Chain A
């Protein structure tokens, strides 16, 4: 299980993630690293996305 919310970067165990679980969340790529909560560099392309954490590397729509 992820330690941090990929939408807001807060600990995933925190109970309040209302805005991160709403219908808009499905339309957002991850912005924070689930391992360390660093803000990731995200590139959205017409058919996918990649998100890179300087410490934990890259994830993409193909691998998520």
Chain B
């Protein structure tokens, strides 16, 4: 390796991440996030190679549904479901037949993962009971799709209860860098979220943890966030891109520039070479069709198909066609067990 190659962050990443499977450190990630547009193709190509080397070609497809929408007591500034902001989103509960239908529709796309989500600080007895009854009904419907949950901050008893229900993965996003979190949420702390994730991991559930890009964080804080996620070591990292929601404190934020977003996706892949990185909310607006393909060829290996919790996504058929064109097989259920 020449002297120049020894200092070039992509050359270093090729050896450190691609060859040895060791994620980049925070200062290296800052360098990646500052690479000029002229090197974006090179960066995406390396991120894709890392994904193929350490994760393989399969793409995990997931559907998500909200069982309890709106009226949340927390003040996450990006979220239209907070009861503290004048958002047009009204509270709603999804009944069990509706949940079963949503799981059935998700499985019909070939998806192997179905995530049950609630807009709450943490689950109460009514919600835990709803989730338990819902999972039972999904199974009685003959649907063996993997079930994940995202129900906010948990107690140890609730963690144990979810394990007993057969929930195999738990989503709880740290959302942003620790240093930026107080600018995004004031009703609970980053550390409370971390504690839930620790309990989830120790109980044997898979950990799903990511966040939202474009909430006013600096480049350094994006790198900080990726490094903090690497320290956590999630099985899955969902990457959302802010879609400014009417009535929320972030409603006038700009949508992240497409190239910046691609650079960020690739940087997260270089921080988390072995994790599943999922394209999540906001990709339609931030990336469009072309950018979505570039992301799939730039480190991403999982997607949410269909709609999100309160907003709409691309038709599932379009994403499935895209994966077919890219010759990326959908991860089989048998591969996840």
Contact = CB atoms under 8 A, between A and B. Distances in A.
Interface of A: 7-9, 19, 23-24, 26-29, 31-32, 39-49
Contacts of A39: 88, 90
Contact of B307 (A19, A24, A45): A45
Nearest to B311: A27
Given A45-B102, A46-B63, A31 B285 contact: no
B82 interface: no
Nearest to A32: B88
Interface of B: 63-66, 69, 88-92, 94, 98, 101-102, 105-106, 109, 243-244, 246, 284-285, 305-313, 316
B312 A44 contact: yes
B105 A45 contact: yes
Nearest to B308: A44
Contacts of A46: 63-65, 102, 105-106, 109, 305-307, 316
Counting from the closest, the 6 A-B pairs by CB-CB distance are A46-B306, A46-B63, A31-B88, A45-B102, A47-B105, A41-B92
A48 B310 CA distance: 11
B100 to A, nearest CB: 11
B274 to A, nearest CB: 28
Contacts, number: 78
Q: Among the interface residues A19, A24, A39, which one has the most CB atoms of the partner chain B within 10 A?
A: A24
A19 B299 CA distance: 33
Interface SS of chain A: mixed
Given A43-B69, A45-B102, 14 more contacts: A7-B246, A9-B88, A27-B243, A28-B311, A28-B312, A39-B90, A41-B90, A43-B66, A45-B65, A46-B65, A46-B316, A47-B105, A47-B307, A47-B316
A45 to B, nearest CB: 4
Contacts of A24: 243-244, 285
Contacts of A44: 65-66, 69, 307-312
A49 B312 contact: yes
A43 B243 contact: no
B24 to A, nearest CB: 33
A40 B70 CA distance: 12
Nearest to A47: B105
B195 to A, nearest CB: 30
A45 B90 contact: no
A9 B90 CA distance: 14
Given A43-B69, A44-B312, A27 B90 contact: no
17 contacts: A8-B88, A23-B285, A27-B311, A29-B311, A39-B88, A42-B89, A42-B90, A43-B94, A44-B308, A45-B307, A46-B64, A46-B102, A46-B109, A46-B305, A46-B307, A47-B307, A49-B307
A27 B313 contact: yes
A32 B87 CA distance: 12
Contacts of B306: 45-47
Contacts of A41: 90-92
Nearest to B284: A27
Q: Among the interface residues B63, B246, B313, which one has the most CB atoms of the partner chain A within 10 A?
A: B246
A21 B89 CA distance: 18
Contacts of A45: 65, 94, 98, 101-102, 105, 306-307
Contacts of B69: 42-44
Q: Among the interface residues A19, A43, A45, which one has the most CB atoms of the partner chain B within 10 A?
A: A45
Contacts of B313: 27
A28 B102 CA distance: 19
Nearest to B67: A43
A8 B90 contact: no
Contacts of B244: 24
Nearest to B102: A45
